[in-house]
Amino acid sequence: MAPRVIPLVDQRRDAPLPVLGDADALGDGVLQDRRRRPLTDLRISVTDRCNFRCSYCMPKEVFDKNHAYLPHSALLSFEEITRLARVFVAQGVRKIRLTGGEPLLRKNIEHLIEQLSALRTPDGSPLDLTLTTNGSLLARKARALKAAGLQRVTVSLDALDDAIFRRMNDMDFPVADVLAGIDAAHEAGLGPIKVNMVVKRGTNEQEILPMARHFRQRHGGSVVLRFIEYMDVGATNGWRMDEVMPSAEVVARIATDFPLRPLEASAPGETAQRWAYADGLGEIGVISSVTRAFCSDCSRLRLSTEGRVYLCLFATQGHDLRQLLRGGADDEALARTVRGMWTQRDDRYSELRAGRQADRAADGSAPRRVEMSYIGG
Look over the chain and give the mean of its residue pLDDT values, rounded to a whole number: 87
CA 370 vs. chain centroid, Å, equals 13
Considering Cα of 81, then 318, then 11, then 292, what sign does the dihedral take? positive
Is the pLDDT at 8 greater than 50, yes or no? no
pTM of the model: 0.88
Does residue 313 register a pLDDT over 50?
Answer: yes
Q: Which pLDDT score, from 0 to 100, does residue 7 have? A: 37
Q: What is the pLDDT of residues 77-87, one digit of tens each?
A: 999 999 999 99
Percent of the chain with pLDDT over 90: 67
The residue among 307 and 377 whose pLDDT is bigger is: 307
Average pLDDT over residues 230-250: 79
Residue 169 has pLDDT above 80, yes or no: yes
What's the mean pLDDT in 205-215? 97
- What percent of the chain is modeled with pLDDT above 70? 84
